Amino acid sequence: MITIKISKFEDLDDKIDINNEKFRDIMYLYSKALKIMENKIDIIRYDYEYLKEHDSINHVMSRIKSPESILKKMQKDNLDITYKNMIANINDIAGIRIICPLKSNIYTVINYIKEFNDIEIIKEKDYIKHPKKSGYTSYHMIVKIPVYINEEISNVKLEIQIRSLAMDFWASLEHKIKYKPNGELNENVSKELVKCAKTINRLDDKMVRLFKNKGA
């Protein structure tokens, strides 16, 4: 019988060993939280398509951070490599990205997420109203999802990113350029990427206007 609860590990000052059972148990909880959130997004998509007669969500991507990436991030943040620090400070171990056809769909999806009374919103960052210096626009949320295992409840954190199809195109290519082998971005490339992001945002806004005015 599986009896795992996140609270068993929240105050654990043991050094992380990615090969032991403790680490596997924690990753299982994050994986299960991700599946629960994916099911909720399917409900959002179904409801919106039924009521509005068009897609509010183009596609969804999800992932569990690799053990190596978790340790690398903890080292970068100068954290002691303990289970306690991992659970408290690494908010994107489980991550889900929701891609909407239009920028205007993003806030509709956000409102749907907030209607689930079992989702606790921990943190929100609106990079649509306040874009990053790179020009990147998206909406980020850190939430807690209740995971039930044999009547035991664990509230597990995961990160949700919601962005438009156009911005996802930019962000995916920007990531590939930024992390390609043999060197960092030079100033000219960085400036061109910002210009591209701003152009895509204008296109995003124009497509929203066209959609609102269809048939007018």
What's the length of the chain? 216
In the predicted model, what is the mean pLDDT of the chain? 87
* Regions of the chain with pLDDT less than 50: 216
pLDDT, tens digit, 9 for 90 and up, residues 87-98: 999 999 999 999
Domains along the sequence of the chain with CATH: 6-166 (3.30.460.10)
Per-residue confidence (pLDDT) for residue 54, from 0 to 100: 67
